Amino acid sequence: MTIYLNGKFVPEAEATVSVFDHGLLYGDGVFEGIRTYNGRVFLLQEHIARLYRSAQAIGLTMPMTPEEMRRIVLATCKANDCRNGYIRLVVTRGVGNLGLNPYQCPKPGVIVIAANIQLYPAEFYEKGLRIITVGTVRNHPEAVNPNIKSLNYLNNIMAKIEAINGGVQEAVMLNHIGYVCEATGDNIFAVNGSTLTTPPAWCGCLIGITRDTVMKLAAENGFTVRESVMTRYDLYNADEVFLTGTAAEVVPVVEIDKRTIGGGVPGAATRKLMQLFHAFAARPESGDEIQ
């Protein structure tokens, strides 16, 4: 594998970072996870725009323009023939000293990895996920805003540990006042009849690019889509629940905290949205061509 690292393409074995990089020392940096489908980078512009918004929020000056970044991502995909894969785009604060001060890190580190995708087991999509709500509260928006896709994922990892220890695949995180936020690496939706509900950003979730895509496709296909505060009660009593994310795409949920959702099988609306999403990802306009 060839990795883009700070202006150069290097073999994987040489793609190493300093132990003084604040990305490593403090989780100080931002990232994106992006899919490629059929030789196209899915919604690349949207991912780059979100990366720059994350960087802006943490006061990190990007060392290149969005257009230069777009070209680097495409070139990395080309170098690795990454036509149906997964891209990890990482921007670290860079090398500094052992103190916290980010102003002592003169140059951000930029890494682009274009790898194979680790697909979720087919069983998740056919049978649906069992998930639980967990005690780890999602980061307060005025602490580390969940809209910042930062390199510090400990909040999410703590919740993931609770889910795994609880014998299920995924966790639903609540915010500091008990409202539903999102899963550890995916957004969450409830379906009631032909209405889709998902928490608004201010409740404490990442504005997922898959979330936005599903909302758009649903609205175009006769669903009513709303962003609204949700409690656990709303999840337990939904007709259907599903998660969305770059790696997972659209994945059904059939049990939450031992409450069976939608008869314990993936529902018709979720299956319809899975199909609409796949059809959209196959369309040429959904991504930038790798050439």
Residue 280's SS3 state is helix
210 binds ligand PMP (CB under 6 A): yes
- CB 244, min distance to ligand PMP, A: 6
258 noted as active-site residue: no
Say what angle helices 44-57 and 209-220 make with each other, to 10 degrees: 130
Using CB under 6 A, pick the residue from 108, 208, 262, 266 that binds ligand PMP: 208
Residue 275's SS3 state is helix
Catalytic-role residue among 149, 216, 258, 272:
149
Strands (E), 64-141: 85-92, 109-116, 129-133
- CB 158, min distance to ligand PMP, A: 13
Question: Which range touches ligand PMP (CB under 6 A), out of 1-9, 204-212, 232-240, 281-289?
Answer: 204-212
249 binds ligand PMP (CB under 6 A): no
245 binds ligand PMP (CB under 6 A): yes
- Looking up tokens 């009849």, which residue turns up? 193
Question: Which range touches ligand PMP (CB under 6 A), out of 8-16, 71-79, 178-186, 283-291?
Answer: 178-186
206 binds ligand PMP (CB under 6 A): yes
Q: What is the 3-state secondary structure (H, E, C) of 21-77?
A: EHHHHHCCEEEEEEEEECCEEECHHHHHHHHHHHHHHCCCCCCCCHHHHHHHHHHHH
> Which residues here bind ligand PMP, judged by CB under 6 A?
33, 156, 182, 185-187, 206, 208-211, 244-246
Which residues are identified as catalytic?
149
